[in-house]
Structure 1
Amino acid sequence: MDSLFQEATAATRVESVAMSHVSLEVGHFSMDELANRPDAVRAQFERVAPLVHAFTEMARDEFAERAGGRSRVRVSTCFLIDDYFRGTTDPRAILPGFLRSAQESGIRVDYLGREAGCAVVPKKDSSGAPTKLAQIVADMVVAEPLEGYSGRRPPTTELGWLSNGRPSSDDELRDAMDLRDYVPPLELSRRNHSIYLDVEMWRRDRERDDPYWSCPFLASVWQLLRLGMVRFEGKRVAEPADYRDWATQEWAESWGVLPSIMQLHDAAPFAAFRSVSILPKRYLGIEHSVQQILDHLDIDAGVNEVYAQRAQENRIVATDHLSDRLSHFFLGAG
């Protein structure tokens, strides 16, 4: 039975989630590659297959003692479909060939996620309502106070940008005759030198009721789901739907009616204590932004308590920062 955590100050019950030791993301493709470049998809899968095997074996070695043997280490694989920015494509024309390419390359995709499903979780039935998952995470963002803040920059909640420090003096409004020296940007948590980063998480558009979420922000939601660290009113969100008959599945003609996460095989749990992502090098900047966003989230105390309990049960060290639970391997040009 899943454990529950009840806060002392409220009646909110926080559901626990089953956890693997490692969630292994087995690559990423643009929608253009998925729709129009099957050879590129297969070539990347063939490059990634040995890495998936190697990281799986590394996970078994790392957690063997704590799990009571290598065979008891739980590793699940996942893949995120890029359907938020190009959701007009047809799943029926993409998913069968994509999953066959993975299988024929020696990669088993246990869980298939949708990027648009990280923005809004579709309702399960006609009586329910969609869950605005990205907005739930946006409400957790807490920006650092900026050094020398003048009040001219709107707050993060309004602006949609998250900075790790103070911008340069070029960003300040000045009179044309103001000849004060240029002041460079400054990272707040710098070590000797600064790496200044300002991430656009969302922007508001008059033509949209909801914010237009950025790729780094949706990737942050994806990582939160993989780490089992997001709830809505204490309940689990985007629970994997059973699609284990995918080989004979009649896929929907629209991405939006598919679940946020689909389970394609009998597998270890989707959420995990650690996540490993094998990605093309072009996603390095996005993942840098993800790390910054995750380290600026105020996670509900009940969720942290449930995670700590699960970690203790599995003899896992619970890290202070969410980003410390992430690892990446970036693929160079093939």
Structure 2
Amino acid sequence: MTDTGTAAVFRETTAQPRTAAVPLAQVSLELGHLYMEDFEAGPDRLRAHFAQVKPWADAAQALAGAGGRRARVSTCFLVDDYFTRFSSPAELVPMLVEEAARAGLVIDYLARESGCAVADGVAVAEEVQARLVESPAPGTDGSRPPAVQTGWLANGERSPGGLAEAMAGAEPWQPPAETAARRHSVFLDVELWDERGEHRTWSCPFLAAVWQLARLGLLRHAGDPVLQPLAWQDPRFPRDWDDLPPLVRLNPSAAPFSAYRTCSVLPSRFLSVEHAVRVILDQVDADPAALAQVAGRSRGEGLPVPEEIADRISYVLYPGP
């Protein structure tokens, strides 16, 4: 018998790497955020906001359906129940739905901001933090601890810090420098969290970055999607935010929650936060299998997505409170 030099290799099926796919719309359109100060301003504030959103929602729908294509645009709304607990789902959700409908809009999905920190037992924010890969600026000497230790992430090289040694000549001041600057720098240093004792509070920009990754269908835990919508069919809503799932589907006929691209219609006060979101997303090493799934499916539809995650998100910022 001739020895061919080959041998059978047996592997457990469960040992094969697996990344579940998620359904994808063309565009995830965010109809707004709601914070305590907006709620305290009353229904008029929401009414004015949705009136600003409506033309852009119509434009997103028209663009998605260009060329006779079937438009798949889903809408979502984010409520801050992380930094402050105010009102209740029983009072707030019907008001949101009513004011949106008054403007001719439908909220397909409602999300709790706390779900961007922890959702269904998964420490979502911690897992995204573990995927941060800082882009070292030219000349970086490694003397500054990484973002995962300091909680600060920059888009370039910071000004040198620290005290000069005694009797040593004073070091000349050096400005910060943006890594990808176009002649002049727009340097940003983003706080990702703060800590009091053993309690960590994630920053608004970091949670907003997690929110964008969820809307782009790029969040995975052990290969499974996280922060996925659950249908809510009961006309009543709970009195406590913890009794509402992190992400609920309010519209049974909605297009998928996640999408190839996202667009958010927000008051201009969110500009600094969303700048920080882009800095964070530029340094997140998202699940490669999830990225490949989205890229392959988008090409198959003739809707290829940019390679950079931050380039898949867009905004409409209008003057307002």
TM-score when scaled to structure 1? 0.86
Contact 2:261 2:305 in 1 (8 A): no
CA distance in structure 2 between the aligned counterparts of 1:164 and 1:180, rounded to whole angstroms:
23
2:148 corresponding residue in structure 1: 157
The match for 2:287 is: 300
Question: Which residues of 2 match residues 36-185 of structure 1 at below 5 A?
Answer: 36-61=41-66, 64=67, 69-70=68-69, 72-122=70-120, 130-169=121-160, 171-175=161-165, 178-185=169-176
Listed as ranges, the gaps of 5+ residues in structure 2 are 1-14
Q: Which residue of 2 aligns with 1:263?
A: 249
> Contact 2:110 / 2:250 at 8 angstroms: preserved in 1?
yes
Letter in 1 for 2:84: R
Q: CA deviation at 1:41?
A: 1.2
**Helix, strand or coil: the match of 2:58?**
helix
Deviation at 1:325, TM superposition (A): 0.6
User: What is the CA distance between 1:230 and its match in structure 2?
Assistant: 1.0
Tell whether the 8 Å contact from 1:231 to 1:237 is kept in structure 2 after alignment.
Answer: yes
Cα offset for 1:256? Answer: 2.1
1:273 aligns with 2:273: no
Of the two, which has the highest radius of gyration?
A: 2
- Kept in 2, the 8 Å contact 1:23–1:275? The answer is yes
Could you say which residue in structure 2 is the equivalent of 1:6? Answer: none
How far apart are residue 193 of structure 1 and its match?
1.1
Q: CA–CA distance in 1 between the matches of 2:86 and 2:50?
A: 24
The answer to whether 1:224 aligns with 2:224 is no
Give the Cα–Cα distance (whole angstroms) in 2 for the partners of residues 333 and 231 of structure 1: 35
Q: Deviations over 1:149-190 (max 9, x none)?
A: 354422111111111111123x33324764332111111111
Aligned residue in 2 for 1:18: 23
Aligned with 2:317: secondary structure?
strand
2:56 & 2:92 partners in 1: Cα distance? Answer: 24
2:36, 2:86 within 8 Å by CA — same for their partners in 1?
no
Which position in structure 2 is the counterpart of 1:125? none
The alpha carbon displacement at 1:59 in A equals 2.5
How many Å separate the matches in 1 of 2:320 and 2:246?
30
- The Cα of 1:104 is off from its aligned counterpart by 1.4
Q: CA deviation at 1:258?
A: 1.5
Alpha-carbon distance between aligned partners in 2 of 1:86 and 1:312, rounded to the nearest angstrom: 41
In structure 2, C-alpha distance between the alignment counterparts of 1:112 and 1:176, rounded to whole Å: 58
SS at match of 1:15: coil
Gap runs ≥5 in structure 1: 1-9, 123-129
Q: What is the identity percentage for the equivalent residue pairs of Structure 1 and Structure 2?
A: 40
The answer for the alignment partner of 2:4 in structure 1 is none
The alignment of Structure 1 onto Structure 2 pairs a total of residues equal to: 305
Q: Deviations over 1:276-303 (max 9, x none)?
A: 1101100011111111111101112211
| C-alpha deviation, 1:207, in angstroms | 4.5
For 2:55 and 2:166, how far apart are their aligned partners in 1? Answer: 59
Task: Report the Cα offset of residue 88 of structure 1.
Answer: 4.8
Counterpart of 1:252, as a letter, is: P
Is 1:91–1:254's contact at 8 Å kept on the other side of the alignment?
A: yes
Query: What residue is the counterpart of 2:229 in the other structure?
Result: 240
Q: Report if the CA contact (8 A) 2:192-2:202 is conserved.
A: yes
Distance in 2, Cα, partners of 1:76 & 1:113: 13
| TM-score when normalising by structure 2 | 0.89
The answer to whether structure 1 residue 29 and structure 2 residue 34 are counterparts is yes
Write the distance in 1 (CA, Å) between the matches of 2:19 and 2:182.
Answer: 37
Cα distance in 2 for residues equivalent to 1:272 and 1:39: 31
Please say if 1:197 is aligned against 2:184: no
Cα contact 2:164–2:171 (8 A) shared by 1? no
Q: Secondary structure in 2 aligned to 1:34?
A: helix
- CA-CA distance at 1:85 after TM superposition: 0.4
Contact 1:12 1:233 in 2 (8 A): no
Tell me if 1:333 matches 2:316: no
